[in-house]
Amino acid sequence: MSGKTTGTVAGEQRASLRRRPFFWIIAAVIAAFALAPAIGNNVELRESLLLATVYITLASNLNIMLGYAGYINFGSIVFFGLGGYTCVYLISAHGWPLAAAELAAGVAVSFLALVFGLGILRLRGAFFALATIGINEAVQAFVSNFEPWGGAAGLYLPTTIFKPLGGPMRALWVVYFLLVAVMGASLYLSYAVKSSKFGLGLIAIGQNEDAAVVLGVPAPLYKALAYSLSAFLPALAGGLYFFKSAFIQPSDAFDLNLSTEAMVIVMLGGRSTVTGAAIGAYLYEELRGYLLTSQTFSSFQLVISGALLLLIVLFVPGGLMGWIYGRWPRGKEVLE
């Protein structure tokens, strides 16, 4: 991953993303996700792919911070959980339609992330990581005590909320297609950021923040924007996910497992690559499916994702895409 290549790409082809093959690869992935379960009305496949869309959304957005800017965000799940809470709350307490609640959740969470980011992102590396570890604990404690959001018991949605979407059966399909759309948007966002001047600035920060600042990258602003940008789509995904289950409680919304898994996925696929986050999510989802059905492994899920993360960091820091680029250097031109 060299800054120079990205620089030329950003300079010459910023306006013509659509002419590059990668744009169409993403489109094909989205189409496959949307069509595969729809053909033959395969509900089982839909449920398994639904989880994959959530993983890909979380991982792609985490990658903007972790991959491009080189800042670990241990609390990426906070966006997902807060998005879910805002959306479920607006629907249950104020009777908002799903679309409006979703939009409000995304905007509110991004705005919060921007404000918080402007504060903590002045902190360099390690301190920022400490703050993001704390935020998950703190937000979970806050929500557990926050009465309007149901405290530790959580919030329920009545089954009647599925009526406007044509009944529960159809609503599940609608939510699935919306999640696929959010996933697609995440992939395009990752790609667009990577090919932009903004992304180039982030990657420069990731490689050497002091040098980037000297060269005129407004580092604190860029970091806060990246943090805020990476909050929007996970908040939408959280809203849809908890709308579908019609129930939200603090331990599900701020599940440490999910934020850990997003990190494992980014590292497994390869940091700061768009393809890596997607392939990593798919591989991890397969692995997880296998582990959950196996009796021995299901209680060791945390151990296995931890061990996997450690092995990747120690021995394959470039992840899968790093390995592919090493074997097939021209791959960089096709797979971002």
Partner 1 sequence: MLGIIAAIIDGVLIGSVYGLAALGLTLIWGVMEVINLTHGAAIVAGMFGLYLLANAVHIPPYATLPLILIGGFLVGIVLYWISVHRLMGRPPLMILLSTFAVNLVVIGLGTAAWGTDLFNVPVSLPSVTWGRYTFSGTHILAAALTTAIAGALYLFLYHTKLGKAVRAVANNREAAELAGIPTTRVLSLSFGLGVALAGAAGMLIATMFPFTVLSGDAYQLKSFVVTALGGLGNPAGALVGGIALGLIEGFAGQFMPVSWTLVIEFVLFVAVLIIFPRGIFAFRRA
Tell me if 224 contacts partner 1 by CB under 8 A: no
CA 163 – CA 58 distance, rounded (Å): 29
Query: Which residues touch 309 (CB under 8 Å, ≥6 apart)?
Result: 260, 263, 264, 267
Q: Of these, 97, 158, 166, 306, which contacts partner 1 (CB under 8 A)?
A: 306
Contact residue for partner 1 among 10, 113, 267, 320 (CB under 8 A): 267
Tell me which residue of 279, 291, 282 sits closest to 320, measured CA to CA: 279
- Residue 131 binds to partner 1 (criterion: CB under 8 A): yes
Using the structure block, give the residue that is written with the tokens 């935020």: 135
- Judged by CB under 8 A, the residue of 278, 305, 321, 336 near partner 1 is 305
Assess 215 for contact with partner 1 (CB under 8 A).
no
Amino acid at 200: L
Question: What spatial distance separates the first Cα and last Cα of the chain, rounded to whole Å?
Answer: 10
By the rule CB under 8 A, 260 interacts with partner 1:
yes
Q: Note whether 141 binds partner 1 by CB under 8 A.
A: yes
Examine residue 70 and tell whether it contacts partner 1 (CB under 8 A).
yes
- To the nearest whole angstrom, how small is the minimum distance from the Cβ of residue 240 to partner 1? 27
Q: Binding residue for partner 1 (CB under 8 A) from 42, 43, 100, 142? A: 142
* Torsion sign (Cα): 126, 127, 128, 133: positive
Q: Residue from 34, 38, 108, 130 that binds partner 1 (CB under 8 A)?
A: 130
Q: Pick the binder of partner 1 from 158, 164, 317, 326 (CB under 8 A).
A: 317
Contact 79, 58 (CB under 8 A): no
Provide, rounded to whole angstroms, the least separation between the CB of residue 88 and partner 1. 21
How many whole angstroms from its chain centre is CA 23? 19
User: What is the rounded distance in angstroms from the CA atom of residue 86 to the CA atom of residue 195?
Assistant: 32
Q: How far apart are CA 121 and CA 129, in angstroms?
A: 10
Q: Which structure tokens are listed for 234?
A: 């996970």
Q: Which of these segments, 28-36, 128-136, 184-192, 213-221, binds partner 1 (CB under 8 A)?
A: 128-136
- Contacting positions for partner 1 (CB under 8 A): 66, 70-72, 74, 119-120, 122-123, 125-127, 129-131, 133-135, 137-138, 141-142, 144-145, 256, 260, 263, 267, 299-307, 309-310, 313-314, 317
